[in-house]
C-alpha cells in the first residue's frame, strides 16, 4: 500500500487530490506542498474542468438554498 501511495505522490495528482486542492484553494487554505505538487505535476485542463464544475455546483446550491429560505419565509 505504501508503494502505491509513494508512486501516487510522484505521479500526477488523482481526481480526489485535484478536488481537494481546488476546494482548499477556494477557501484560501492550500498548503505550499500541495500547491507545488499541483503546479509541477498537475494538468491545467484537469484543474480548470474540476474548478468549473465545483463553482457551478456551488452557485446552483446557493440558488436552491436561497429559494428554500424565501419559500419558508413566505409561508
For 24-43, the pLDDT digits (tens) are: 988 889 999 999 999 999 99
Q: What is residue 53's predicted lDDT score, i.e. its pLDDT?
A: 95
Per-residue pLDDT, 7:
45
pTM for this structure? Answer: 0.71
Least confident of 3-7, 12-16, 63-67: 3-7
- Residue % of the chain over a pLDDT of 90: 68
Cβ partners under 8 Å of residue 29, min gap 6: none
CB 30 within 8 A of CB 24: yes
Question: What region, left, alpha or beta, does residue 28 occupy, with left being phi > 0 and alpha being psi -120 to 50 degrees?
Answer: left
What pLDDT was estimated at residue 11? 82
Amino acid at each position: 500500500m505504501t508503494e502505491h501511495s509513494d508512486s501516487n505522490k510522484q505521479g500526477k495528482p488523482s481526481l480526489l487530490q485535484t478536488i481537494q486542492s481546488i476546494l482548499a484553494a477556494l477557501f484560501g487554505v492550500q498548503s505550499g506542498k500541495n500547491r507545488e505538487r499541483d503546479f509541477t505535476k498537475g494538468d491545467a485542463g484537469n484543474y480548470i474542468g474540476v474548478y468549473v464544475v465545483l463553482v457551478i455546483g456551488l452557485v446552483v446550491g446557493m440558488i436552491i438554498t436561497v429559494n428554500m429560505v424565501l419559500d419558508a419565509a413566505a409561508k
